[in-house]
A and B are shown apart, each in its own frame.
Chain A
Amino acid sequence: MNEQFRVSQKLGLMFKPDESVPKDIQSWALSQLHKKSPAIGIKSVSRVGKSITTSGVTNWPKHLQPDLEERAKRWRIQRAFMELSRKEEKSQAEKRRYEIENFFGETDALKFSHRNVYGNDQLRVRFLTFWTNHFTMGNIHDNQNVIGHAMDEAILANLNNNFSEMLFKVTSHPAMLIYLDNIWSAGENSKHTRLCKNKPDCHAGLNDNLGRELLELHTVSPAANYTEEDIRNSAKVLAGWGTHLEETPKKMREQGRTTNHWDYFKKDYAEPGKKMVMGKKISPGKRGLRQLTDFLANHEHTIKHISTKLCQHFVSDSPKKSDINQIAKAWRNSDGDLDQIHTKVVELAIKSKEAKFQWPMTWLFQVVRLSGATYFHGWDQVYNWYDDNIIRNNEIFDELGQSLWATRQPNGYSSNKEEWLSGEMFERRIRFASAIQRGGGTHQLSVDKIMNRIGANNATRKLVDSVGMKEESRFIALMCSAELMGLENA
């Protein structure tokens, strides 16, 4: 591959047929780090035979990107309807209508796909994906309504900020507080727990789920050798943060003096007194969490842990110690400035000529972009459109075995190539390449044009030429070549 496409494979999502390919790829990549672009996508797709018409690429409509309050309100409406439908019979059509109007998981996931396929900020989207996976938030108790919000507002909005800011914003976001059970946790000596002790059917106290994963997965990792006491104290700092999405504004005002789910701290659930976490003294009350996340954000073990992850995700399948150290150095020198950290990652990824295996979802987006296929529904078709040729957005991710909305373990998807070497995983790539070529529309670039544009290497050209003249076979061979999968050639 030529340098432009090699870099956009490693760090981005490949250049679309209508995109101009930059001459100076490193400057382009670094400028992408600061690219501001809204979510864009397509409204509707219609098909006559093989010919596809779309409404054109424009900004996603505002009403499909509601704020947190609106998302919580819709959740309350949906919950009330579900309660009601237990008592009285509701038609399937009505149930579906409520789901369409009030649940945001599928809509947000399609928005994510559109961002990947149509966006002009491919490198930023890759970093968004990396960090969303680092801070895994699976769908539990229908926090699907706010996961997409966390991605946009806690992660993407902080890509040019300090890591400590992103860490705090994610940790205090309802998507995370719900996913890791923190919304129920109360300090052992909190007012809530003390009052509860005198009531016969009341049970209250600490839940250490988020406190533990904050240390283990999001920051210092087990290499830091923290103790169970540290985990419990971390959970005590977190006690009081967050509430159910269905909480009424009235009750929220009573308990937390706000109706903002993203800044919600229940004083009555908080553990009084100072806490010690890994030798750091944390103040009581609401400000304690920020102190804790700030302390963890620049901890030496956090720097090592996340520098290694970044390196394995973007630079090389077998990251070199010296590369990891360079990222860690950029982190230390800038006190965790993500711009500086990402800049170093970009430089190293370009410098390293080693192959980097691409995740199934990243590969799929790259294939769609390279060919110019239309392979995703429009935003007004999330629930109500059926096309023989295209499977639904959420089904695509199910089949790939990778989704940022799936209920899954909080350690997220591995960037280790070994975890993805399976016949079934590779078979999906063959099938998706086939389906994209067959169903993606007549305006797709031909295999020859794609190969010329990316400067396919001789091994890839030889492979493509060996499978005959059928365009579909040639397309599958190209997209499943070692070169396009980010693997070494034979």
Chain B
Amino acid sequence: MHKLNLTRRDFLKTTGASLFLAGVPIPGFTKDKPPGTISVILLEGGMDGLTAVPPFGDPDLLKMRNIISPKDYLKLNSFFGLHPSFKVLAGLFANNQASVVHATSIPYVKRSHFEGQNMMEGGGLSPFSEGSGWLGRALELINTPGRALSLDMPLILRGHNENDNFYPASIRNSSKLNTKLIDAISMAHAIESSNVFSKISNKSKNSVIDIPRDPASLAKYAGKVMSQDEGPLASVIRIPRFDTHARQGADTGKHADLLGIIDDVIAGYREGLGSAWDRSIVLTMTEFGRTVAVNGTTGTEHGYGTAGILAGGTIQKSRVISQWPGLSKNDQFERRDLMATIDYWSVCAACIEKTLGLDHETIANKIFLRPKLPRVFDYIFT
């Protein structure tokens, strides 16, 4: 596995990842249990799909970005390779448990992180148009409350009133939580904040769980609780700092280290989920890809098309799903970015259909608010 030469503390400082678990079935809720679990790895900053999954068969790749392209990639087929940081993912590919969707993006072309991130979590028609998130709306439709593991409640999971979060506190000399006190505070608040305090009240009745906060440990923990009978159905992990404007690196370096973290997180899920891996899907998503050309500081600027990585036992056959647009200037989006030929919402929709058991029409209409969203289920799951 890719090793970062850092202490755990440094590692936490550099990555700042956070985990969100969601979709804990309501006890006694009589409804068919959804068939699987879904986990989303949010890659914040704009992941460079052309480095993660280099299309080495395209003659323009090395012409445009020799200095940042990995040389020691694993061949996935005659056209696409896998970055050497993906050790675990490479094994899953060999076992038909992972796929890549390439030249894809959410339909957002304006290259702002903050608009793009809002849209990737909100799943609406434009940035800041939705107050809830696409995964939150999916959980609302199957009526299962969610739980997040982080200090904040991320937009992607908002949309279900019963959602809750968890992140172990470490404040010296503070007293144990007092349920009666918290209930009193909750009662004195108006509905919105009262709801939040009542969740702390529920938590104060349970024993304290101590989990390390690094991404791989969080993923392992998430996998473990999702594998349990009454466990959550969805989880989200955030990995920040993909915004590699300078000194991006190639086989090794800044971007390679971040890809290594994705690999660690997938490995964590695999281990934590155990036999539940067979009914699970883990997918990455990012707000946009990066420019085809290298910029002046051996990095890349904000772009459009990128790659999505899928892993899980629900995949029957590994493949690279792509309608390759080409990398020449004329093939690029606005003569600078990789064109996106697959709408990534279709990919998310297929993953929801497979694991949460909703039909495509409902997903397209009620979650992504796009009645005409294409169904790509068969490309991924058959």
A positions within 8 Å CB-CB of B: 180-181, 184-186, 188, 193, 203-209, 212, 216-217, 222, 228, 388-391, 395, 399, 401, 406-411, 418-428, 430-432, 434-435, 438-439, 459-460, 462-463, 466-467, 472-473, 476-477, 480-482, 485, 487-490
Given contacts A424-B166, A477-B181, contact A207 B295 (CB under 8 A): yes
Cross-interface CB contact of B67 among A203, A209, A409, A480, cutoff 8 Å: A203
Docked pose: A423 CA to B185 CA in angstroms: 13
Residue from A217, A395, A466 with most neighbouring chain B CB atoms (10 Å): A466
Q: In the complex, what's the smallest C-beta–C-beta distance from A367 to chain B, in angstroms? A: 13
**Residue interface mask B303-341, A partner, CB < 8 A = 1:** 000000000000000000000000000000010100000
Q: Is B240's CB within 8 Å of the partner chain A?
A: yes
Instruction: Name the B residues within 8 Å of A188 (CB-CB).
Output: 296
Given contacts A207-B246, A399-B171, A490-B187, contact A430 B177 (CB under 8 A): yes
Cross-interface CB contact of A228 among B172, B297, B334, cutoff 8 Å: B334
B positions within 8 Å CB-CB of A: 13-14, 16, 44-45, 67, 110-115, 131, 148, 150-153, 164-167, 169-175, 177-178, 180-182, 184-185, 187-194, 196-197, 199-200, 203, 240-241, 243, 245-247, 294-299, 301-302, 334, 336
Q: How many A-B Cβ pairs are below 8 Å?
A: 196
Docked pose: A422 CA to B197 CA in angstroms: 9
Q: Is the beta-carbon distance between A490 and B188 smaller than 8 angstroms?
A: yes
Instruction: Name the A residues within 8 Å of B180 (CB-CB).
Output: 467
Instruction: Name the B residues within 8 Å of A411 (CB-CB).
Output: 113-114
The closest CB in chain A to the CB of B291 belongs to A208
Instruction: Name the B residues within 8 Å of A184 (CB-CB).
Output: 246-247, 296-297
Given contacts A207-B297, A228-B336, A399-B171, contact A481 B152 (CB under 8 A): no
Instruction: Name the B residues within 8 Å of A427 (CB-CB).
Output: 169, 177, 200, 203
Given contacts A228-B334, A422-B152, contact A430 B200 (CB under 8 A): yes
Q: Is the beta-carbon distance between B189 and A487 smaller than 8 angstroms?
A: yes
The closest CB in chain A to the CB of B13 belongs to A407
Q: Is the beta-carbon distance between A208 and B295 smaller than 8 angstroms?
A: yes
**Interface of A (DSSP majority class):** helix
Given contacts A390-B173, A399-B171, contact A480 B296 (CB under 8 A): no
Instruction: Name the A residues within 8 Å of B14 (CB-CB).
Output: 407
Given contacts A490-B188, A490-B189, A490-B190, contact A409 B240 (CB under 8 A): yes
Given contacts A423-B165, A482-B190, A489-B189, 15 further A-B contacts (CB under 8 A): A184-B247, A184-B296, A205-B295, A208-B245, A209-B301, A212-B111, A388-B173, A399-B171, A426-B193, A426-B196, A426-B200, A435-B174, A466-B184, A480-B197, A489-B188
Docked pose: A435 CA to B175 CA in angstroms: 7
Q: Is the beta-carbon distance between B151 and A426 smaller than 8 angstroms?
A: no
Instruction: Name the A residues within 8 Å of B294 (CB-CB).
Output: 203
Given contacts A207-B297, A216-B112, A388-B172, contact A430 B182 (CB under 8 A): yes
Docked pose: A236 CA to B90 CA in angstroms: 41
Q: In the complex, what's the smallest C-beta–C-beta distance from A295 to chain B, in angstroms? A: 21
Q: Is the beta-carbon distance between B184 and A467 smaller than 8 angstroms?
A: yes
List 30 A-B residue pairs with CB atoms under 8 Å apart, sorted by A's residue number: A181-B299, A185-B297, A203-B296, A204-B296, A204-B297, A206-B295, A207-B246, A208-B301, A209-B243, A209-B245, A216-B112, A389-B173, A391-B171, A399-B169, A409-B44, A410-B113, A411-B113, A421-B193, A422-B148, A424-B165, A426-B197, A427-B203, A430-B200, A435-B171, A435-B172, A438-B173, A438-B174, A472-B175, A482-B188, A490-B190
